[in-house]
Structure 1
Amino acid sequence: MKIHKLLGLIAAALVLPAYAQQESSSAASDAPGTAAAREALKQKEGDTDQTTLLKQTLTAVDKQYSLIKRGKIQATYDLNYTYIGQEKINANFSDGTLTLFNIENDSSHAITNTLSLDYGLRDNLTGSFSLPLVSKYSESPTSSGLSHSLGDIGIGARFQPWEAHRGKPSTTFTANLRLPTGRSPFKVDPNQSLATGSGVATLTGGLNVNHIVDPVALFGSFNVSYSTAAKHLSQRRDGNLVLNRVDPGASIGFGLGFAYALSYGISTSVSIQETISRGTKLHFDNGSVYRTKTQTAGVLSLGLGYRVSPKTTLNFTAGIGLTADSPNFSLGMSMPLSF
């Protein structure tokens, strides 16, 4: 009996180390496979997520929402088409009798190519510069023309005073200066050439707020604009009147909207923007002063973002005018440029 117990103990002593070695070897062989699987499931640097896509969509909807790191440069190409069409009734009464009545159709098509450069002055302060090239075609019963020229150059800055935290709204203050480098509408002959600029310098200050609640981003904006006067003019209007000075009215604007990430590569956005501009004063050489009516421009924008690569997202927008003072229709495309 003692011999059988002794043989059993010897067998156990020989088998257990081998079994333990086999289990250790099996665990060691499984560990790398498990680690590899876990590593494959992790998000890699450069991979996109819905939050990143939503931020890029916000940038495309309105570049005032984005900031870049200090010392970094970012370039963007924008292509925009705008159509404005209107019908005017031309009537003339003489001694209480209608002597002239006709409906005139005016239309204007404008294509704007804009190159924008952003530079990170600080992590929370970004400077911007935009250079637009404008091609415009206009047609009316009395005249038609085609013009290609530089538009109004823009210089701006975006400042984020408070650090952005996940799950909380982000606030950005903006300032933009538009310089009258394009062809002024107060200096060209409307029967011979078309304006490609506003003719006045405009300073705009604003506030933008956005809040990302994955997969939705909510955003809103408010801004105030002031334009300098156009002086020393000599533009003939309505026969004998000569325009000497133009004092544009101040304007306020506000907007709101949302962006929705359908997937890691596709996002959509819907926004509405309204601008209310006070009437402009027109001064003529005979001392007369006229003021235009207050204008209200409202636009509904629909957007689509398509991510073609980890660093490139194409964004397309379609705008529909909601008021008589708005462009009838617009199309736009925005594309980041890599150097």
Structure 2
Amino acid sequence: MRLTCAGVVCAFFLLESVYVLADVESVDNARNALGKKEGDADSAQALAEVFQAAEKSYTLLKEGERTLTYGIDYSLVRDTIIETVRTGEDSFSVVGQSEAQHTFTNSFTFDYGVWNNLTFSIRLPFVAKYDTERDLSAYSLGDISASLRWQPWNAQRGKPVTTLYASVGLPTGDSPYDSEAQDNLSSGSGNYSISAGVNLSYVIDPVVLFGSLGYTYNFPIKNINQVRGGRLLKSVNTGSALSFNMGFAYALSYDVSLAASYQMAYNLAPEFEFEDATLEGREQTSALMNFSLGLRTSPDYIVNVNAGFGLTEDSPDVLLGLSMPLDIAGLKPE
């Protein structure tokens, strides 16, 4: 079979066209492979998830959405207690006592989206406490707390997001005023409390800046009848507290995030009413530096690990923590 010159030219152009089409198709395939698919994580999504994992108190759930989070926290407090003890009708002695309290708190936090801009939360803690200096231990339910977080205005690009919160603390744990404090460790505060405040957050991709300001009122504890330092303690007003917090969350990648925060609280001086006198305690100022690392273990789960330390004598010396979401059948809406 013989090919004419025209046939050779036509065959050449046909072959060239096949190569061009194949090259175009390969470029399109590569572009599609590198392009974002539905469900892929983007910068905004990753930043939002980092922020939610780092500072859960600033996030809100969609209406009807439910989450359950498990957390374990450890704190170490070393201190020396100096107490004046009555040894006679008009004589007193000063007693110094060292303590090293190790506290492990296992907590379950349930969040429910009432509306898109209103989230209800309840926290159930279980406390294990050890004092290695005095050889004491305690295992009990801690103080249960419930809160509401409300976002009054829609989030707008380039503007900070404002969230208001209110919470109540219940004295469900063992109170330090139920029995002799020298012989037992408490797992709760012993009083009811209410708190309110505001949270602010601002996105500067890939960083989220956040801060909060809050106030806590502690209700007085009455009808105590506890002997302390040779005196009968009748009631305690533990004083109110002001709190402040600021920090940032940063997305290192889609799977790793870093957050750092500074927390500070100022407690007004408490009042102790004894049978024969009323004494005023000292004001307390606690300050903490806290660092957390978020690790994505699956597309929908982020495990958060944190470590911190105290900056004042009224603060815990060491803080460690871990939190993770729990997937329970029937918890998520259809």
Both proteins in one fold, TM over 0.5: yes
What residue number does 1:244 align with?
A: 234
Deviation at 1:195, TM superposition (A): 0.5
Q: Deviations over 1:156-188 (max 9, x none)?
A: 111111111333321111111111110111113
Cα pair distance change 1:90/1:227, threshold 3 Å: closer
Matched, 1:272 2:265: no
Same amino acid, percent of matched pairs: 38
Q: CA-to-partner distance for each residue in 1:29-63, whole Å, 9 max, x for gaps?
A: 67765554444333344433444344334334432
Kept in 1, the 8 Å contact 2:110–2:121? The answer is yes
Q: Which amino acid aligns with 2:261?
A: S
Residue 148 of structure 1, CA deviation = 0.7
Gap change, CA 1:136 and 1:46, over 3 Å in 2? farther
After TM superposition, list the pairs within 5 Å mapping 1:75-90 onto structure 2: 75-87=68-80
Q: 1:38 to 1:86 in 2, by over 3 A?
A: same
Tell me, which stretches of 5 or more residues in structure 2 are unaligned?
86-92, 329-334
Say yes or no: does 1:58 pair with 2:47.
Answer: no
Which of 243, 253, 257 is the aligned partner of 2:243? Answer: 253
**Stretches of structure 1 lacking an aligned partner (at least 5 in a row):** 1-10, 93-99
Indicate the residue corresponding to 2:331 in structure 1: none
Q: Is this contact kept in 2: 1:319–1:330, CA < 8 A?
A: yes
Question: For the structure 1 residues 233 and 119, does the alpha-carbon distance in structure 2 shift closer, same or farther, using more than 3 Å as the test?
Answer: same
SS in structure 1 at match of 2:104 = strand
Against the structure 1 CA distance between its residues 57 and 242, is the aligned structure 2 distance closer, same or farther, given a 3 Å change threshold?
farther
- Conserved? CA contact 2:54–2:249, under 8 Å: no
**Aligned-partner residue type, residue 274 of structure 2:** F
| C-alpha contact 2:47 2:251 (8 A) present in aligned 1 | yes
Deviation at 1:89?
6.5
Distance 2:274 2:46 in 1: 52
Amino acid at match of 1:290: L
Question: Which residue number corresponds to residue 252 of structure 2?
Answer: 262
User: Residues 310 and 327 from structure 1, CA distance in 2 versus in 1: closer, same or farther, beyond 3 angstroms?
Assistant: same
Among 278, 284, 306, which residue is 2:295 paired with? 306
The structural deviation recorded for 1:324 is 0.8
Secondary structure, aligned partner of 2:323: strand
**TM-score (normalised: structure 1):** 0.84
Structure 2 residue aligned with 1:231, among 219, 222, 225? 222
3-state DSSP of counterpart to 2:233: strand
1:134, distance to aligned residue in structure 2 (A): 0.4
Q: Equivalent residues in 2 for 1:1-339 (5 A)? A: 36-87=29-80, 104-140=97-133, 143-239=134-230, 241-286=231-276, 288-339=277-328
For the 8 Å contact 2:294–2:302, the answer to whether it is kept is yes
Instruction: Name whichever of 126-135 and 43-52 sits farther off.
Output: 43-52
For 1:112-152, what per-residue CA distance to the aligned partner results, in whole angstroms no more than 9, with x for missing partners?
Answer: 00100111101111111110000001144xx4311110001
Q: Check the 8 A contact 1:161/1:172 in 2, yes or no.
A: yes
The change in CA–CA distance for 1:122 and 1:29 in structure 2 (over 3 A counts) is: farther
Cα shift at 1:80? 0.2
CA contact (8 A) 1:46 1:310 kept: no
Q: Aligned pair count? A: 320
Residues 243 and 216 (structure 1 numbering): CA distance in 2 closer, same or farther, change over 3 Å? same
Q: Which residue of 1 aligns with 2:89?
A: none
Cα separation, 2, equivalents of 1:124 and 1:138? 43
C-alpha change, 1:194 and 1:72, in structure 2 (3 Å) is same
Segment of structure 1 superposing worse, 52-61 or 187-196: 52-61
> Once the 2 structures are TM-superposed, how far is the Cα of residue 270 of structure 1 from its aligned partner?
1.4
Query: Residue 50 of structure 1 contacts residue 263 of structure 1 at CA under 8 Å; is this kept in 2?
Result: no
Q: Distance in 1 between matches of 2:81 and 2:56?
A: 36
Q: Tell me by how many angstroms 1:243 deviates.
A: 1.4
